[in-house]
Amino acid sequence: MSDKSPVIVDLKFDPETVAKSLASAFPGREVINLADPATRGRDLSGISYAVVWKPDGDLFERAPDLKVIFSGGAGVDSILSIPSLPDIPIVRFVDHTLTTRMSEWVVLQCLTHLRQCFTYADMQAARQWEELAQPQASEITVGVMGLGVLGLDAVHKLKVMGFDVIGWSRTQKTIDSLETFDSAGLDAFLGRTDFLVGLLPLTPETEGFYNAGLFSRLRQGGALGKPVFINAGRGKSQVSGDIVAALEKGVLGGASLDVFEREPLETDSPLWGMKNVIVTPHAAASSDERALFRNVETQIAGFERGKALPDLVDRQRGY
């Protein structure tokens, strides 16, 4: 029997993929995968580590001796909302695989709207051959909200594609080659923005943040006429009814949405059928389970050697 503490895994991902990835993960440690029916009723006391994503509400009561909680993704709101959450370190998942996936999605959405793919798809269906007026990327200002690891990588890759990019965060940040705004400069930021990219964490301040009032302050009359809203941050930061209304009224010219207040998105949501909207199933930056487990292995090994844990969640800020 190993003297290393076991690891609890409570991930609401695809069970088969998790099980397959765990087969070669955490060598020398017992892994308690709570998706495995054989673990039902298992005594979880005396265990130091848990890797979680949308964990069971009673997990922390069942595992009272945890020393560190590792999030299975960049977001941690599903962890922070649990009443029995112990006062121990929570580590966000920060990895190039997750970061790269997010930037790919953001760049894809910006290019899709820039190159008017919706209109061309309609024209293809109608067998209509007509070239549309085509603005350059440099004529579009992309405003990125959230300047953490994900946001900054997206900024860099959008710049490579030629977009004019500005950034916003709650508090002022100084970043080379990027014009930034803070809370006091929100109106100025929105008034410059053609494509609004949401990568904010969910906090009490950002719940319902993307709403009718905010959309009305985005720039009108830019190179594509109407602004576009692109959100891959947190679903509860947006008001879906306001998005639909803004699209119907022409306040927004399009949207790309990967996250929603309630998931899965309700089958009767009008967003499914809107021709200028892309809906993806919270898949913009899906965690690679193998990369996640390698990351956690490295953090545990360092922690047990006395090293400080990186990417710790600030509970006061909520991320």
pLDDT tens-digit series, residues 156-171: 999 999 999 999 999 9
Is residue 234 among the annotated active site residues?
yes
| CA separation for the pair 259, 229 (Å, rounded) | 12
| CA separation for the pair 199, 188 (Å, rounded) | 19
Rounded average pLDDT over 287-310: 97
Is residue 192 among the annotated active site residues?
no
Assigned token pair, 234: 């947190």
Say if residues 18 and 289 touch (Cβ distance below 8 Å).
yes
Residue 32's pLDDT band (boundaries 50, 70, 90)?
very high
Say if residues 11 and 18 touch (Cβ distance below 8 Å).
yes
- The answer to whether residue 2 scores a pLDDT higher than 90 is no
Number of C-beta neighbours around residue 146 at 10 A:
24
| CA separation for the pair 298, 295 (Å, rounded) | 5
3-state secondary structure 23-78: CCCCCCCCEEECCCHHHCCCCCCCCCEEEEECCCCCHHHHCCCCCEEEECCCCCHH
Range name among 1-5, 110-114, 175-179, 244-248 with the lowest pLDDT average: 1-5
Judging by beta carbons within 10 Å of its beta carbon (0-12, 13-18, 19+), is residue 120 exposed, middle or buried? middle
Residue 160: which residues within 8 A CB-CB, separation 6 or more? Answer: none
Q: What is the tens place of the pLDDT at every residue in 196-205?
A: 999 999 999 9
Say if residues 102 and 80 touch (Cβ distance below 8 Å).
no
Number of C-beta neighbours around residue 26 at 10 A:
19
Residue 112's pLDDT band (boundaries 50, 70, 90)?
very high
Q: What is the tens place of the pLDDT at every residue in 281-291?
A: 999 998 999 99
5: enclosing H helix or E strand: none
Among 42, 282, 290, 294, the active-site one is 282
- The answer to whether residue 28 scores a pLDDT higher than 60 is yes
pLDDT at 3: 83
pLDDT at 98: 95
- The answer to whether residue 1 scores a pLDDT higher than 70 is no
Domains recognised in the chain with CATH numbers? 7-93+287-304 (3.40.50.720), 96-279 (3.40.50.720)
